[in-house]
């Protein structure tokens, strides 16, 4: 389909057009939208990932030790992961609402803003807003995985380090990180692919708008499906697979995943 002019608007006129769908994306009428979406995808994936990873890791370290009410606390932290992406999108859309959203209300009460700001309605803040929602959504995954991994680290290692007089940082970088390295890599690898393939939030919060400013390439692909241009949507889909395959290969080579296992 990616090499066809396949548009449901006129299905009597479906024909092979070679690479036209692709050239259209890179140099034709779609190039501005596509390049913006591509750059947005990079920001969307790496900013989301960095914060999800750091905050998730920090929470996992806090949850390592059992404390009074830690089970309840754990349950609360995992909550976002259990909710569907669309629901989260709708929830955050209300929170960011430019007339009666709770975020605007808090900022006005704190005296930071003097009148409501349309976070999702502004081309310069729409992407940042959906990234914030995505960070919130993705933290639990890291917390769950890393907590599980941390509990598997033998306590003897830390006792031995204490005997040697190692400080917290040395223990962290010499014991904790190396012990759970494979889990960290696997989760990061998985998360990049998942975040890349996660247009649900964008779809329900901004639908890529306003003016395409919060589109990533997967949400652009959804829009192409909605506008019934299946040829262009398939072309983008094929590119997604290509990007992700290349990414996976590079990542595995770079981290020498195979070596660390054998």
Partner 1 sequence: MKTRKVAAFLATIMAVSSTFVGCSNGTNSSSNNAQDNSGNVTITMVESLTSPERTAVLREIADKYQESHKGVTVNIISPPLENADTKITQMLQAQQDVDIVEVRDSTLTQFATNKWIAALEKYVDQWDEKDTLTTSAKEAMKTFQNTDYLIPYGFYHRAIFYRKDWFQKAGLEAPKTWQDIYDAGKKLTDASNSKYGYSFRGGSSGYQYADTLYWSYIGVEELANPNAGYYTKEGNGKTIFTLPKVKEALHFYKSLFKDVSPKDSVAWGFSEMVQGFVGGTTAMLIQDPEVIATCSSSMKDDEWDMVAFPAGPSGEAVSPNGFAGWGLTSFSKHPDQAADFLLFLSNSENNTYFAKKYSTIPIHSDAAEKDSYFSTGKFALYLKTEEQPDVYKYAIQPQMYEAFAQYKTEVDKKYQQYLNDTITDDQLLKWLDEFWTEAYKAEGKKW
Determine the Cα–Cα distance for residues 192 and 257; give it in Å rounded to an integer. Answer: 16
Q: Residue 17: which of 242, 230, 237 has the closest Cα?
A: 230
Question: Does position 5 bind partner 1 by CB under 8 A?
Answer: no
Task: Select from 18-26, 147-155, 177-185, 235-243 the region that touches partner 1 (CB under 8 A).
Answer: 235-243
Question: Does position 226 bind partner 1 by CB under 8 A?
Answer: yes
Question: Does position 114 bind partner 1 by CB under 8 A?
Answer: yes
Question: Does position 55 bind partner 1 by CB under 8 A?
Answer: no
211, 249, 250, 253: which one contacts partner 1 (CB under 8 A)? 211
Question: Does position 234 bind partner 1 by CB under 8 A?
Answer: yes
Question: Does position 50 bind partner 1 by CB under 8 A?
Answer: no
80, 182, 194, 210: which one contacts partner 1 (CB under 8 A)? 210
Least distance in angstroms from the C-beta of 97 to partner 1: 6
Residues near partner 1 (CB under 8 A): 1-2, 7-12, 33, 97-100, 108, 114-118, 120-123, 206-207, 209-213, 223, 225-230, 234, 237-238, 241, 245, 258
């Amino acid at each position: 389909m990616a090499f066809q002019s396949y548009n449901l608007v006129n299905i009597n006129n479906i024909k092979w057009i070679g690479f036209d769908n692709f050239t259209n994306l890179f140099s034709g009428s779609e190039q501005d939208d596509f390049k913006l979406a591509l750059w947005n995808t990079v920001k969307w994936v790496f900013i989301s990932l960095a914060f999800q990873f750091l905050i998730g890791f920090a929470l996992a370290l806090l949850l390592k030790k059992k404390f009074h009410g830690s089970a309840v606390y754990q349950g609360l932290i995992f909550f976002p992961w259990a909710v569907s992406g669309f629901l989260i999108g709708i929830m955050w859309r209300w929170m960011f609402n430019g007339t009666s959203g709770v975020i605007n209300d808090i900022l006005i009460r704190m005296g930071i803003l003097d009148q409501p700001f349309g976070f999702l309605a502004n081309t310069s803040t729409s992407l940042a807003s959906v990234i914030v929602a995505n960070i919130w959504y993705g933290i639990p995954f890291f917390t769950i995985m890393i907590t599980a991994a941390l509990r598997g680290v033998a306590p003897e290692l830390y006792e031995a380090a204490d005997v040697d007089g190692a400080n917290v940082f040395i223990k962290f970088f010499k014991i904790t990180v190396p012990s759970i390295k494979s889990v960290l890599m696997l989760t990061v690898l998985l998360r990049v692919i998942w975040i890349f393939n996660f247009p649900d939030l964008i779809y329900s919060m901004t639908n890529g708008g306003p003016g395409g400013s919060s589109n990533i390439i997967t949400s652009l692909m959804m829009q192409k499906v909605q506008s019934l241009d299946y040829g262009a949507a398939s072309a983008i889909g094929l590119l997604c697979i290509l990007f992700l395959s290349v990414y996976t290969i590079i990542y595995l080579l770079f981290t020498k995943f195979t070596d660390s296992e054998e």
